[in-house]
Amino acid sequence: MQLFSRHIRPEEAERDADELDAFSQAVVKAVERVINSVGSVEAQTASGQTVGKGSGFVVAQGLVLTNSHVVRGAVQLQVSFADGRKFPAQLVGEDEDTDLALLRIPADDVPPAPLGDSQKLRVGQLVIAIGNPYGFQCTVTTGVISALGRSLQTPLRRRLDDVIQTDAALNPGSSGGPLVNTRGEVMGVNTALVVPAQGICFAIPINTAKFVIARLLKEGHIRRSYLGIGGQNVSLHQRLAALLKLPTDRGVLVISVDAESPAAKAGVQGGDIVVALGDHPTPDMETLNRFLAELPPGTETRLTLVRHLEKLTVPITLAEPPDKSA
């Protein structure tokens, strides 16, 4: 049997090489824009025993963002950068519900990483992860956005919704590092990987992180109200939204309802689509969670839902989140 192969002309090979080189240069430039902002975070007890290692990156002058699980239980914190400098760090605050923590270091000359808009992410988009897996400083991996709007559990068994899934390789020590687009803008905070699966990793959207940073700077913590649903973002047909006079043509599809939660007591069901909390449209899980963080537990309000192509409004009383750390 004779095998045939298409002859590649020299000009085609050169064009392909140029395209690959342009792709490589885009990655290189994106990394160069961010990498000096990325550090290694080490958490220690009072006796100097290491209880956590991970990554972090500067988001503003003297402020480093990392994962809450990296610094949990620490009495002493240290952030090291690729140029050899090491700084003691103080915990500004942490938010266990998003697995984010904000640190302050005595350094005003470490450049902050440019922060992007995670709402602009698209499935299939190229992304770059930077971190310190196993202590290897400023390791770079690439991949794509595999999915958006995923849900997973934090180390404290709290549900984290609206999470980015990527196949950019993450390993122990990558937690807290930035997930970057080809413009060198941070689009997410690397937080978890599925073991033993390969290529299933997760990041917290940077828009969620921006909200958390602002609240931690202001109050040092975030006291959220609890609704008790798991959901994912969906789009509604514009004609349906107009017919039902909905406040938005997007919403949060209810995937699960926690037993004895405010949502369960209000009669929320799997398959419902949440389009408003009180007077506030909720086009996505990020927006819904932001409003829950602004309303104190005990607030009596209402949910606007779409169920079986009909608009439904139900009263609901928000509650304290259940203690899942016990």
Question: Which residues on adjacent β-strands are paired with residue 302?
Answer: 315
Q: Which of 175, 261, 272, 284 is catalytic?
A: 175
Q: Give me 95's structure tokens.
A: 């938010």
Backbone angles phi, psi at 155, to 5 degrees: -55, -20
The upper half-sphere exposure of residue 243, i.e. CA atoms within 13 Å in the direction of its Cβ, equals: 9
Q: Which of 37, 40, 68, 69 is catalytic?
A: 69
Q: What residue ranges in 194-285 does DSSP mark as E strands?
A: 201-205, 229-235, 250-257, 273-277, 280-281
99 catalytic? Reply is yes
Q: What DSSP designation does 54 have?
A: E
Q: Give me 83's structure tokens.
A: 């140029």
Tokens 């480093």, residue located: 64
Question: How far is the CA of 22 from the CAs of 19, 25, 26, 179, 187, in angstroms?
Answer: 5, 5, 6, 21, 22
Q: Which of 40, 95, 97, 99 is catalytic?
A: 99
SS (H, E, C) 179-218: EECCCCCEEEEEEEECCCCCCCEEEEEHHHHHHHHHHHHH
175 catalytic? Reply is yes
| Long-range contacts (CB closer than 8 Å, 24 or more residues apart) made by 251-260 | 251/275, 251/282, 251/283, 251/306, 252/282, 252/284, 252/285, 252/288, 254/229, 254/230, 255/151, 255/229, 255/230, 255/231, 256/229, 256/230, 257/228, 257/229, 257/230, 258/228, 258/229, 258/230, 258/322
Q: 122: exposed, middle or buried (C-beta count within 10 Å: 0-12, 13-18, 19+)?
A: exposed
Catalytic residues: 69, 99, 175
